[in-house]
Amino acid sequence: MFYSILFYLFATVLVGAALGVIFARNPVHAIMFLVLTFFQSAMLWLMVEAEFLAIVLVLVYVGAVMVLFLFVIMMLDVEIESVKRGLTHYAPFAIVISLIMAVELVQLIWVRGSADAMDNAFTPNPADYDNTKALGAVLYTEHAYAFEIAAVILLLAIVAAITLTMRKRPGLKVQDISAQVSVRAKDRIRLVKMKSESES
Amino acid sequence: MSSLLPQFIVDLWDSLPPLVQYLTVVTWKILFVTIAVILVVAFSTYFERKVIGSMQSRVGPNRVGPLGLGQPFADVIKLLIKEIVVPAQSNKFLFVIAPLLSLIPALATWAVVPLHPGFTISNINAGLLYVLALTSLGVYGVILAGWASNSKYALLGAMRSAAQIVAYEIAMGFALVGVLMAAGSLNLGAIVEGQAGGFSNWFLLPLFPLFIVYWVSGVAETNRAPFDVAEGESEIVAGFHVEYAGVAFALFFLAEYANMVLISALASVFFLGGWASPLAGWTFLDGSLLAFIAAPSFFWLFAKISFFMYSFFWFRATFPRYRYDQIMRLGWKVFIPITIFWIAVEAVMAWQRVGPWANLG
């Protein structure tokens, strides 16, 4: 009972926030709605005892990805009018994608909703079950190869992004910090001892 | 405990449903910890002014109450009765919730911090991940405050702060990877228990570079001097909270100090053994008045937190502010390579059972 109330509460807020992402006029508001959406899905994952995934969702998406999104969007001066004009331009593309997603969703619900799948109701894990450990045990043994490939792809993306944005302008003046730190007084000033020139 | 209470209270308690019992106990624990943290924050402002005062040959606050101890409360009352000015061109809703968004993660992280042997509000398995997730949320308050104020200085402060926090979070996360490798667990209680049994069992020695990286990143993450370019009063007035006054400003202030106390507590838990006593083997103290310093207790955690808080103030009185590009350089080009290198060193040493690394993992 308590469990169902919580589920419907989180699910309602999740759907509401997801709609908010689409309908919010201000892009910053849309991002905050997206943050709320991620939080609510993390809550739903917590409810099926997937605490590792839930916390990592908050850590990676809310803590890092959305911050960078916000960072970029805050700098933009978005004109609502141009966004509206863009809507009709992208509409066919958007409709195709949303149709594919809808079909996939319906298929999933249809498969899950069939009689034999309905019997596998959620059963709580034993108290000493450690989600993180279980995931790690599978990830580093059975799926080690796929895991490594994912890591290499991410590394490639980082290297590519850095290479694309690295520009060396000719004539750019850059400070060499170690040279600055290691500078000594005698490199900059020369103290000379000399006799006074005037005879007094 | 139950024998101290009259029978009817015990019976009344037992007759409650388990859910209500659980909620009552947890609520009291949360209230207790939150109020304690807020009091510590209030007095750490006093502590800061006294410490910096003494370092600069001044007396610090000494007017309100004995030794000026009433100063924090005087400040709070002053801020409470001030008017909150909401800029006309600001985004009102985000402007108001931004201080809350920076305060809530700072307080919520205390849920998993082990304060005393056996006392944690929530003893969860993925505690370290929870800490990382929540400390990464504090940046929202800063960014939204800067954006919602609709002021150039505030926006500049928010930009600086966001870039800085995102950069140093990575170094912090990598430093914590070393800790979880050493403890073999993500549970904060297990991490502290792994360091119990005297000074030599602390992770401080085998993970020393990671400790330095974590601690400096912690200072950067809380936007404290010498990394306080987000406020940078000589360049951008007061940074992200320039438009805030009264209680809203007080909340930012509270969040900053709560984060400092939190980083101090986490650094003690991860590297200095939390509530574990460095004098654990001193059995000759048994029975004497000093027996408590050999036993693991909240006393030691508090002592370690106080040491770190003192260092925060010490840094502020000592170091000049970093230049912004150098902050970025330090985070990305110095700290991240150091942490990755030391994780590899730790793994090899623990695998070969060498020196202080022999007992890890």
* Domains in chain A: ranges and CATH: 2-130 (1.20.120)
Task: Give chain B's mean pLDDT.
Answer: 84
Nearest CA in chain A to B173: A59
Residue B319, by phi and psi: left (phi above 0), alpha (psi -120 to 50) or beta?
A: beta
Helix (H, G, I), strand (E, B) or coil at A13: helix
Assign 3-state DSSP to chain A and report helix, strand, coil percentages, each to 5.
75, 0, 25
Which of B19, B125, B162 has its CB closest to that of A132?
B125
Q: Is residue B196 within 8 Å of B276, Cβ to Cβ?
A: yes
Pairwise pLDDT comparison (B352 vs B214), residue with the higher score = B214
Q: List pLDDT tens digits, range B154-206.
A: 888 888 888 888 888 888 888 888 888 888 888 888 888 888 777 777 888 88
Q: Chain B residue with minimal CA distance to A71?
A: B159
| CA A194, chain centre distance (Å) | 67
Q: Is A73 on the interface with B (CB under 8 A)?
A: no
pLDDT of residue A69: 84
Smallest Cα distance from B26 to chain A, Å? 18
Which of B311, B276, B168 has its CA nearest to residue B230?
B168
Q: Is the dihedral of CA B232, B236, B238, B240 positive or negative?
A: negative
Chain B residues touching residue A39 (CB < 8 angstroms): none
**Does B72 sit behind a cis peptide bond, omega within 30 degrees of 0 on the bond before it?**
no
User: Which residues of A are less than 8 Å from B146 in CB distance?
Assistant: 74
What pLDDT does residue A157 have? Answer: 94
The model's pLDDT over B260-282, given as tens digits with 9 standing for 90+, comes to: 999 999 999 888 888 877 777 77
Query: Does the beta-carbon distance from B169 to A32 stay under 8 Å?
Result: no
Using an 8 Å CB-CB cutoff, list chain A residues near B155.
74
Which among A55, A63, A75 is the nearest to B126, CB-wise?
A55
Residue of higher predicted confidence among A168 and B321? B321
Tell me if B140 and A67 make a contact (CB, 8 A cut-off): yes
Do the Cβ atoms of A34 and A21 come closer than 8 Å? yes
Stated pTM of the model: 0.83
pLDDT tens across the length of chain A (200 residues): 777 888 889 999 999 999 988 888 788 888 889 999 998 999 888 888 788 888 888 888 888 888 888 888 877 766 655 666 666 777 888 889 989 999 998 888 777 666 555 555 566 677 677 777 888 888 888 888 999 999 999 999 999 998 888 877 788 787 777 888 888 888 888 888 888 887 76
Query: Quick check: B317 and B51 in contact, CB under 8 A?
Result: yes
- CB contacts, 8 Å: B137 with chain A: 58, 62-63
The pLDDT value recorded for residue A148 is: 92
What is the model's pLDDT at position A159?
A: 92
Is the predicted pLDDT of residue B353 greater than 90, yes or no?
A: no
- Residue in A2, A58, A75 nearest the CB of B133: A58
Residue numbers in A near B126 (CB within 8 A) = 51-52, 55, 131-132
Q: Which of A21-25, B5-9, B123-127, B315-319 tops mean pLDDT? A: B315-319
- Across the interface, whether the CB atoms of A52 and B137 are under 8 A apart is answered no
Chain B contact for A24, CB < 8 A?
no
How far is residue B265's CA from residue B127's CA, in Å, rounded to a whole number?
14
Reported as a single tens digit per residue, the pLDDT across B232-244 is 677 777 777 778 8
> Which residue is closest to A60 within chain B, CA to CA?
B133
Closest CA to B268 of B304, B319, B241: B304
Interface of B with A (CB under 8 A): 19, 91, 94, 124-126, 129-130, 132-133, 136-137, 139-140, 143-144, 146-147, 155, 158-159, 162-163, 165-166, 169, 186, 326, 329
Interface of A with B in 91-120 (CB under 8 A): none
**In chain A, which residue's Cα lies nearest the Cα of B330?**
A177
Put simply, the answer to whether A70 touches B159 (Cβ < 8 Å) is: no
Tell me the pLDDT tens digit for each residue of A133-169.
888 888 888 888 999 999 999 999 999 998 888 877 7
Whether this model's ipTM surpasses 0.85 comes out as no
Cβ–Cβ of A63/B137 closer than 8 Å? yes
Tokens 């959305």 found at: A66
Contacts of A16 (CB under 8 A, 6+ apart): none
Which residue in B305, B310, B306, B299 sits closest to B277, CA to CA? B299
Interchain CB contact of A152 with B (< 8 Å)? no
- Asked whether the predicted pLDDT for residue B73 surpasses 70, the reply is yes
* Record: contact A56-B129, CB cut-off 8 A: yes
